[in-house]
Amino acid sequence: MNSVSLAVEAERLVKVFGNVKALDGLSFHVEKGKIYGLIGPNGAGKTTALRIISTLILPTSGSARVFGRDVVDEASEVRSLISYLPGEAGAYKNLSGFEYLQFMGKFNSKDRNHLKEMVEDAAKISGMGDRLKDRIKTYSTGMKRRLLVARALMTKPKLAVLDEPTSGLDVLHAYHVRGIIKQYTKESGVTVLLSSHNMLEVEHICDQVALINRGSIVAEGSPAELKAKHKAANLEEVFAEVAGLA
Amino acid sequence: MLEELRNIVLKEVKEMIRDPRILLGMVLAPLLIFPLMGFMFRTSTEAMQQSLRTVSIAVADLDKGDVAKNLTDFLRSIQTVKVNTINARDTEEIATIVKASNATAVIIIPENFSQNITNGQRGELKIYGVFRGGGIAESASFSIAQNLLESFKQKLTLQTVQTKFPDNSTVVLDPFNASQGSIVKGKPVDVPPSALFAFAQAQFLGLPIALFMLIILAMQLAATSVAAEKEEKTLETLMSLPLNRFTMLIGKLAGSTIVAAIGAIATILGVIYYMGSFTFATAAQPSVDLSAVGLTPSLLDYAILGTSVFVSLLCALALAVVISVFAEDVRGAQSLLGFVYTPLVFPLFVLMFADLDALPIGLRVFLLALPFTHPVLATRATMTGDYFTPVLGIAYVTIFTLGILYIAARIFATEKILTMRIRLGRKKTIQE
Interface contact flag, B240 A92, Cβ < 8 Å: no
Distances (CA, A) of A48 to A28, A53, A56, A76, B419: 14, 9, 9, 19, 12
Residues of B in contact with A48 (CB under 8 A): 432
| Rounded Cα–Cα distance for residues A189 and B357 (Å) | 72
Q: Nearest to residue B261, comparing CAs of B425, B27, B4?
A: B27
| Rounded Cα–Cα distance for residues A109 and A103 (Å) | 11
User: Does residue B34 lie in a domain region?
Assistant: no
- The total number of residues written for chain B in this structure: 432
Q: Could you tell me if B234 and B133 lie in one domain?
A: no
| Rounded Cα–Cα distance for residues B390 and B377 (Å) | 7
Decide if B54 touches A, using CB distance below 8 A. no
User: Does residue A31 lie in a domain region?
Assistant: yes
Q: Could you tell me if B365 and B322 lie in one domain?
A: yes
Q: Does position B428 have pLDDT exceeding 50, yes or no?
A: no
Q: Does position B4 have pLDDT exceeding 60, yes or no?
A: yes
Q: Could you tell me if B122 and B259 lie in one domain?
A: no
User: Could you tell me the pLDDT band of residue A8, with boundaries at 50, 70 and 90?
Assistant: very high
User: Does residue B336 lie in a domain region?
Assistant: yes
Q: Which of residues 8-37 of B touch A (CB under 8 A)?
A: 10-11, 14-15, 18-19
| Rounded Cα–Cα distance for residues B84 and B98 (Å) | 9
What are residue A211's DSSP bridge partners? A39, A219
Nearest CA distance, B374 vs chain A (angstrom): 37
Kindly report, residue by residue over A69-115, the tens digit of the pLDDT. 999 999 889 999 999 999 888 899 899 999 999 999 999 888 889 99
Element (DSSP H or E) covering residue A53: helix A46-53
Give the domain CATH number at A160.
3.40.50.300
Give the domain CATH number at B111.
3.40.1710.10
Q: Could you tell me if B242 and B340 lie in one domain?
A: yes
Higher pLDDT, B301 or A97: A97
Q: Nearest to residue B151, comparing CAs of B83, B48, B77?
A: B77
| Rounded Cα–Cα distance for residues B188 and B183 (Å) | 4
Residues of B in contact with A99 (CB under 8 A): 14
User: Does residue B30 lie in a domain region?
Assistant: no
Task: Provide φ and ψ at B218, rounded to 5°.
Answer: -65, -40
Q: Could you tell me if B155 and B199 lie in one domain?
A: no
- The domain tally of chain B equals 2
- Report the percent of chain B where pLDDT is more than 90: 16
Give the pLDDT score at B206.
66
Q: Could you tell me if B145 and B220 lie in one domain?
A: no
ipTM score of the complex? 0.90
User: Does residue A42 lie in a domain region?
Assistant: yes
**Does residue B104 contact residue B145 with C-beta atoms inside 8 Å?**
yes
Q: In what order do the strands lie in the sheet with A191-196?
A: A82-85, A159-163, A191-196, A35-39, A208-213, A216-221
Interface contact flag, B415 A56, Cβ < 8 Å: yes
Distances (CA, A) of A207 to A193, A199, A204, B253: 11, 13, 9, 45
Q: Does position A218 have pLDDT exceeding 60, yes or no?
A: yes
Q: Does position A141 have pLDDT exceeding 80, yes or no?
A: yes
Q: Could you tell me if B334 and B276 lie in one domain?
A: yes
Nearest CA distance, B432 vs chain A (angstrom): 5
**Does residue A198 contact residue A37 with C-beta atoms inside 8 Å?**
no
Give the pLDDT score at A172.
84
User: Does residue A63 lie in a domain region?
Assistant: yes
User: Could you tell me the pLDDT band of residue B276, with boundaries at 50, 70 and 90?
Assistant: low
Nearest CA distance, B405 vs chain A (angstrom): 21
User: Rounded to 5, what percent of chain B is helix, strand, coil?
Assistant: 70, 5, 25
Residues of A in contact with B239 (CB under 8 A): 56
Count Cβ neighbours within 10 Å for each residue of A61-88 and write b for 16 or more, e otherwise. ebbbbbbebebeeebebbbebbbbbbbe
Residues of A in contact with B232 (CB under 8 A): 90-93
| Rounded Cα–Cα distance for residues A40 and A218 (Å) | 10
What own/partner pairs with CB < 8 Å and gap ≥ 24 does A23-28 have?
A23/A48, A23/A49, A23/A52, A23/A59, A23/A60, A23/A62, A23/A215, A23/A216, A24/A214, A24/A215, A24/A216, A25/A62, A25/A215, A25/A216, A26/A62, A26/A212, A26/A215, A26/A216, A26/A217, A27/A62, A27/A217, A28/A210, A28/A217, A28/A220
User: Could you tell me the pLDDT band of residue B284, with boundaries at 50, 70 and 90?
Assistant: very low
Q: Does position B282 have pLDDT exceeding 60, yes or no?
A: no
Interface contact flag, B232 A91, Cβ < 8 Å: yes
User: Does residue A203 lie in a domain region?
Assistant: yes
Q: Does position B154 have pLDDT exceeding 60, yes or no?
A: yes
Domain boundary pick from B163, B182, B214: B163
Distances (CA, A) of A12 to A26, A55, A61, A138, B191: 5, 16, 8, 43, 81
Give the pLDDT score at B207.
65
Q: What domain range includes position B308?
A: 193-419
Give the pLDDT score at B426.
45
Decide if B421 touches A, using CB distance below 8 A. no
User: Does residue B290 lie in a domain region?
Assistant: yes
Kindly report, residue by residue over B207-259, the tens digit of the pLDDT. 667 777 777 877 888 888 888 888 888 888 988 998 888 888 888 888 888 88
Q: Which residues contact A128 (CB under 8 A, 6 or more apart)?
A: A97, A143, A146, A147, A150
User: Does residue A238 lie in a domain region?
Assistant: no
Higher pLDDT, B280 or B407: B407
Q: What domain range includes position A134?
A: 3-218
Residues of A in contact with B247 (CB under 8 A): none
Give the pLDDT score at B288.
60
- The domain tally of chain A equals 1
For the CA atoms of B356, B361, B366, B369, what is the dihedral angle to 10 degrees?
70
Q: Could you tell me if B323 and B403 lie in one domain?
A: yes
User: Does residue A233 lie in a domain region?
Assistant: no
Interface contact flag, B432 A43, Cβ < 8 Å: yes
| Rounded Cα–Cα distance for residues B354 and B375 (Å) | 15
The angle that helices B299-325 and B330-353 make with each other, rounded to 10 degrees, is: 140
Residues of A in contact with B432 (CB under 8 A): 22, 42-43, 45-48
User: Does residue B73 lie in a domain region?
Assistant: yes
Give the pLDDT score at A79.
92
Q: Could you tell me if B204 and B347 lie in one domain?
A: yes
Q: Does position B36 have pLDDT exceeding 50, yes or no?
A: yes
Q: Does position B185 have pLDDT exceeding 80, yes or no?
A: no
Tell me the average pLDDT across B354-373.
Answer: 85
Residues of A in contact with B411 (CB under 8 A): none
Nearest CA distance, A170 vs chain B (angstrom): 21
User: Could you tell me the pLDDT band of residue B153, with boundaries at 50, 70 and 90?
Assistant: very high
Residue type, position B120, single letter: G
Q: Kindly list the residues of chain A whose beta carbon comes within 8 Å of any beta carbon in chain B.
A: 17-18, 20, 22, 42-43, 45-48, 51, 54-58, 76, 79-80, 82-86, 88-95, 99, 103-104, 106-108, 110, 135, 148, 151, 161
User: Does residue B277 lie in a domain region?
Assistant: yes
Q: Which sign does the torsion angle of CA A149, A141, A135, B220 carry? A: negative
State chain A's mean pLDDT as an integer: 88
Q: Could you tell me if B130 and B209 lie in one domain?
A: no
Q: Which of B233, B236, B416, B418 has the highest number of chain A CBs within 10 A, making it the mutation to test binding with A?
A: B236
Higher pLDDT, B212 or B404: B404
